[in-house]
Amino acid sequence: MIIGCPKEIKNNENRVALTPGGTLSLVGRGHTVYVQKGAGDGSGYTDADYAGAGAELLGTIEEVYAKSETIVKVKEPIASEYALIRKGQFLFTYFHFAGSRDLTEAMVKSKAICLAYETVEAPDGSLPLLVPMSEVAGRMAVQEGAKYLESPSGGRGILLGGVPGVMPANVLVLGGGIVGTEAAKMASGLNANVILMDISLVRLRHLAEIMPKNVTLIYSSEYNIRQQLSRVDLIIGAVLIPGAKAPHLITRQMLGEMKKGSVVIDVAVDQGGCIETCHPTTHEDPTYVVDGVIHYCVANMPGAVPFTSTLALTNATFPYLLQIAQKGWKQACADNAGLAKGLNVVEGEITYGPVAEEFKQMS
Ligand SMILES: NC(=O)c1ccc[n+]([C@@H]2O[C@H](COP(=O)([O-])OP(=O)(O)OC[C@H]3O[C@@H](n4cnc5c(N)ncnc54)[C@H](O)[C@@H]3O)[C@@H](O)[C@H]2O)c1
């Protein structure tokens, strides 16, 4: 198979979809790999690294699309790429179709095959190509929180872990899924007092088995959240109701009960946020203040740590890419029902139910 890896051109996207290690495995199995010059720069991989692994370097994105049967990417194609995608070409990347009518229309029109990372399923129904980015965001949320709690960043000037003789900070994590679990592990590892809330008792029972003693598990309710507001220094929003907007667990009015200089990191901002006063921010300008509370609401947190994120992502995507390369997409999807769940748009048809529902008139 001829596989192409273009350089990501979305603003501030430094990840790359294929590493030199992945290239080596593909080339070793007889596949041809084209990599756009500079594609790995943001993640610490040079053109020489790819060439050494057997890739052929191409100077322009146009050449990569023109010469490749399969395109592997990180983010959805942006408008300037639409015209480069042709009938029958296979694209493997994050698409998030439901969020963009333009993208969906363009991909339907192209008659390409779009297999979206975000809807590939593992046998247990989990989403294995979303998990790694949630792991990165959850861990990073604590780092960012610790930074913004420092006085020079505008915070109230408290060290998450305290020191012997001084109380540590109080951290409230809302949601105990992937993001929340990783955040709670990091905050507790730094010796903070952590409360994690979830509405799933099954999840809380599981977390009770694996969390250290400085993580207290509480059922999530408005009453229980209100009881914590005046004492917390850092809140991490990590709830998800699949397919729905995040619920506003902290309203504008409730925010007033928090201490000045405390921090909220709303990781769930990509689903609307679970704190009413949150709106999406960027890495260039990540925070703003409401009622004296610092809000950090960056919608693509993993983009700030591309060295880690590229490896975390490709560790998860590569086994699927290999199946596609070895068998062709049709056979790979026939053999792996979870991979087939990733097919969102196939040769002019929307094949993924929720996306078809969203854009009924197009299908
Ligand atoms: N900002 C970013 O860069 C970034 C990166 C990765 C993920 N995310 C987002 O983070 C969010 C969480 O992702 P995840 O992978 O941890 O999801 P997940 O499904 O693993 O976990 C969500 C958890 O929220 C819990 N929940 C639902 N309603 C709740 C409520 N009312 N109170 C408390 N808990 C509740 C669920 O029971 C579940 O345990 C998602 O919106 C995801 O898109 C953002």
Cβ–ligand 1 contact at 179 (below 6 Å) = yes
With a cut of 80, say whether residue 242 has pLDDT above it. no
Tens-digit pLDDT profile for residues 15-27? 999 999 999 999 9
Does ligand 1 lie within 6 Å of residue 178's CB atom? yes
* Confidence at residue 354, expressed as pLDDT on a 0 to 100 scale: 87
Structure confidence at residue 17 (pLDDT): 98
Q: State yes or no: pLDDT of 363 exceeds 70.
A: no
Cα–ligand 1 centroid distance for 68 (angstroms): 36
Q: pLDDT tens for residues 318-345?
A: 999 999 999 999 999 999 999 999 999 9
C-beta separation of 299 from 99 below 8 A: no
For residue 240, the ligand 1 atom closest to its alpha carbon is: 22
Q: Supply angle C-alpha 289, 251, 239, rounded to 5.
A: 95
pLDDT band (50, 70, 90) for residue 361: low
- Pairing state of beta strands 170-174 and 215-219? unpaired
> What confidence tens digit (pLDDT) does each residue in 255-295 have?
999 999 999 999 999 888 999 999 999 999 999 999 999 99
Q: What share of the chain is helix, strand, coil (3-state, %, to 5)?
A: 40, 20, 40
Which tokens sit at 65?
């699309």
Residue 272 has what pLDDT? 87
Percent of the chain with pLDDT over 90: 91
CB atoms within 10 A of CB 109: 14
The answer, yes or no, to whether any atom of ligand 1 lies below 6 A from the CB of 204, is no
- For ligand 1, whether the C-beta of 127 sits within 6 Å is no
- pTM value is 0.91
**Mean pLDDT calculated for residue range 44-71:** 98
283 a catalytic residue: no
Told to judge if 279 belongs to the known catalytic residues of this protein, a careful annotator would answer no
Q: Which amino acid is at 232?
A: V
Range 212-220 average pLDDT: 98
Q: Which residue has the higher pLDDT, 242 or 288?
A: 288
DSSP, collapsed to helix, strand or coil, labels residue 354 as: helix
- Residue among 289, 278, 206, 284 nearest 236 (CA): 278
137 lines ligand 1 (CB under 6 A): yes
Burial bucket for residue 225 (CB in 10 Å: 0-12, 13-18, 19+): buried
Cα distance between residue 24 and residue 3, in whole Å: 12
| 111 CA distance to ligand 1 middle (Å) | 33
As given in the structure block, the two tokens for residue 72 are: 């592997």
**Res. 73: pLDDT tops 90:** yes
- Can you list the domains of the chain with their CATH numbers? 2-120+306-362 (3.40.50.720), 131-304 (3.40.50.720)
Q: Of residues 49, 96, 206, 248, which has the active-site annotation?
A: 96
Ligand 1 touching residue 133 (CB < 6 A): yes
Indicate the pairing of strand 287-290 with strand 293-296.
Answer: antiparallel
Q: What is the atom index within ligand 1 of the atom nearest the CA of 203?
A: 39
Q: Residue 337, exposed/middle/buried by CB under 10 A (0-12, 13-18, 19+)? A: exposed
